Chain A
Amino acid sequence: MLFTTDQQTTEDLNIFGKHGGDSIFTMFNHTSTRGGAAIMESMFHSPLSNHSLINKRSRIIQYFSATDSFPFDAVLFDIADQYLANTDERTKLSFEAGSFVKRLSNLVAEDPAYKFVYTGVTAMIEILSSLRSFTEKLALTQEASVKEDLDVITAYLRSSPFDSLPTGNRNGKLAYTELQEVDVLFRFRHRDIIKKLLQYIYHIDVYISVGKTAAHRGFTFPKALQKELHLLNLQGVYHPRLAAPVPNDFNLTPSGNVIFLTGANMAGKSTFMKSVGIAVYLAHMGFPVPADMMEFSVLDGIYTTINLPDNLGSGTSHFYAEVLRVKKVAKELALGKNLFVMFDELFRGTNVKDAYEATIAITTGFAEKKHSMFVISTHIIEAGETLSKRCENIRFSYLPTKMNGLSPEYTYTLKSGITADRHGMLIINNEGIIELLKKGKTQAK
């Protein structure tokens, strides 16, 4: 089964970014080759939902994080890709082309078809010889997950005809007949194998790039646990795009699988939710996460609702957009999926009484799904009080505010309990709006 998510979630967590800005994808994407970038992107698009696959990829990345640079000449891959993309039979070098007359005319003006094949073939041969020495070095590894893929590649390289590719004359120049023969091998007869070998190299590129990012940023590799444990244990999780993030500890179990989060407007609720969401998302890709330690049971998907856009233009109100979003999640849950679900400021688009009732009804319903995990933030603390009596598996956390005179200060450190902190009026008062209006009034009189 695939790990499911949707556009709202990836936008909330800024996985891909709208304009290629500070997204999570660009944070990791330092690949040297275009093929590597494509693989990286497909990994981001389809996280895994199988703990052994996750752990395998994670171990491979850890292994390669020791490698400091991509051990191939990246320029060669652009040539090779272009060369391999041309599968037109007519571009094969013809036999009579080897004739004396042709060769003579080639001396006068170079034949573009010949040149195309020549540069392509030499690039491929160079790539393959680099790959050979790379695999020979790697053969010493004890890491089982690395060895698994390596063995396949080594087998290809040792099989005919890859074990005895021509190396050219003393100047490294291939004879015309050799060239003709190898071209057919690469582009037509053993095309599949060549593609596999290149894909392997592109994967290596991705692993090295991710490993470097992990080492550079001090990320840790999470441990994927079996689905049936329904655990999430995060220590020191933080938002990777902040300059001075405050790390938090956070865990969820079947006996406490719902976090009811309260806190003032700027206390960092959204940021906290985003950092947890990013960690869960990356962990399911087998990637390193911005945390000190992470253990997690593999889930079937993640759905967040942090910046739900108003579609006032299209006529649906914010509240209705929220309801539809909740419905979507409810449907997924009803399919028996184990999900990670986050709602920021649930039902802020309606009146106080409705928001209270709806929050209680929906949260109680969610709490029944003990195998999924929920983080729900709200300002309706009364709902929290009612819920604490009704459900045992809801845990209450808040992000505190300290008042320093008139200006609020935030610790960004999660505490357990419910807070009634609100600063909406404070912000309005700090801006002096009401005074402004009153003063204008008295002056007018």
Chain B
Amino acid sequence: MSFITDKQTLDDLNILGKYKPGSMFNLFNTGQTAGGERLLEDMFRFPLSDADLINRRSRIFQFFRSHALTFPFDQDQLTQMESYLQDSGEHTLLETGLRVIRKLVSAWLLKDEPYAVMQAGLLATTAVLQTCQVLLDKLNIQDRQHPYFDQVAAVGDILNDSRLAWIKTEKEAIPLSFLHVIRYDHLLRKILKNELNIILSFIYHFDVCLAVNQVAIANELSFGVALPASRNRMEAANLRHPTIKKAVGNVLSLSENTNLIFLTGANMAGKSTLMKAFGITMYLAHMGFPVAAESLEFSVKDGIYTSINVPDNLNMGYSHFYAEVLRVKKIAEKVSQGENMIIIFDELFKGTNVKDAYEATLAVTEAFASYRCCFFMISTHIIEVAEALKTICHNIRFAYLPTVMSGNVPTYTYRLEQGVTSDRQGMMIIENEKILEILYSDQGLHPNT
């Protein structure tokens, strides 16, 4: 079963998008090969929802951390090999021979390129396979329990195939004889076509692993441990937003008994950032990727939905409020079907007046909270809701991001604290901006009075 999410969530958390600044895909997309990029995109599109698969992938990444590896392949050779292998068909040896002869003759007569291109492709492939062999020797994984063993062993078997024995002896510089070209070409492009594609995938995967590991080191990311869904808990130490410099870390924990974090705090205190950090961490963790936290243990969930920046859909005639209602409804449908979800609501119902928002947030939060197998993080600026919830639900953890006043200027610690904030600096911001002074400043100076 695949991990459930949707476009709104991916946008909120800024997960995908090669050309979007600050997206998670962008953060990790530092590989060398186009094939690696495609593989990375697949991983991003389809997070896992099985604890074993997640841990296995994550352990492969971790293997790279303990070994100083570099990408040994030549980019040009790889590209040549890709296009060479793509250009293959179902031919018999005889047909291949005739095609090669035709190219050779036309190269003679017309001085055209197909023969040279083909020969170069063949040589590039040989070189890549040679490099691959060197890499395998360097990896030297003998332990059958090693998560990387299967993949490496599969490639090793192919390279050790007796039909490819010539690879090891062939020297790049010497032009291949005409008959050799026919034989090798037929072998690589027809007989061993699938095997060579396996090797290419291995190289792409190797590329991704290297890149992920480098990003992990550069950004001080660490790997989470996936637990079976039945454990129903998550715990993160020093959880940060991965793309914010000097981000402040926070401890977060959720379990069956406290499955909802109700977040309050002044505007600008960092509520949205914390929620995004939580969402991104859970998303990456479900991919088996490293996360921006000191440590992370989490029970695998079925999916994640967030509602952080719900777009107005004025073209469709919806008001902002109605757009939010529809979003909540969609999520409620999924939750009520019994899926174990991670749900993040930021500033629920901000598209309406404070009074409606108060009632609606209260009712919706209470109804959601009873789904103990889902984890929720809900924020609001309407602190009155938190006071009311305290008396109704007992599985809610109240937390807030504090504001510290230094003189008249609010500063923010971005460090989560227990309880409900009592900061009401709505009026204070107005006072700091000196709006009332401005309004009253010209009394008596008005030209018309």
Contacts and interface: CB of A to CB of B under 8 A. Distances in A.
A115 interface: no
Nearest to B268: A317
Interface string B311-347: 0100000010110011011001101111000000001
Given A350-B267, A437-B371, A440-B338, A319 B358 contact: no
Contacts of B139: none
A437 B427 contact: no
Interface stretch (B94-102, B211-219, B360-368): B360-368
Contacts of B332: 433, 436-437, 440
A442 B335 CA distance: 13
B292 to A, nearest CB: 19
B171 to A, nearest CB: 57
Interface residues of B, number: 62
Contacts of B325: 427-428, 431, 433
A25 interface: no
B267 A424 contact: no
Contacts of A313: 309
A389 interface: no
A361 to B, nearest CB: 6
B448 A334 contact: no
Interface-centre pick from B321, B354, B449 (highest chain A CB count, 10 A):
B354
Interface stretch (B58-66, B75-83, B245-253, B379-387): B379-387
A17 interface: no
Interface in B368-403: 368, 370-371, 381-384
Contacts of B25: none
| Chain B contact surface mostly | helix
B6 interface: no
B272 A312 contact: yes
Contacts of A350: 267, 354, 381, 426
B337 A440 contact: yes
B429 interface: yes
B19 interface: no
Contact of B363 (A345, A422, A428): A428
Interface in A302-322: 307, 310, 312-313, 315-320
Nearest to A444: B338
Nearest to B354: A352
A312 B351 CA distance: 14
B268 A422 contact: no
A428 B360 contact: yes
B439 A319 contact: no
B439 A330 contact: yes
A432 to B, nearest CB: 8
A395 to B, nearest CB: 20
A319 B381 contact: yes
Contacts of A228: 448
A327 B381 contact: no
Interface string B402-444: 0000000000000000000000111101100111101111110
A218 interface: no
Contacts of A365: 435-436, 439-440
A330 B438 contact: yes
B356 interface: yes
B267 A319 contact: yes
The 10 closest A-B pairs by CB, nearest first: A440-B336, A424-B356, A354-B426, A379-B353, A317-B267, A365-B439, A437-B367, A350-B426, A330-B438, A352-B354
Interface of A: 228, 265-266, 307, 310, 312-313, 315-320, 323-324, 326-327, 330-331, 333-336, 338, 345, 347-355, 357-358, 361-362, 365-366, 368-371, 378-380, 422-425, 427-428, 431-434, 436-441, 443-444
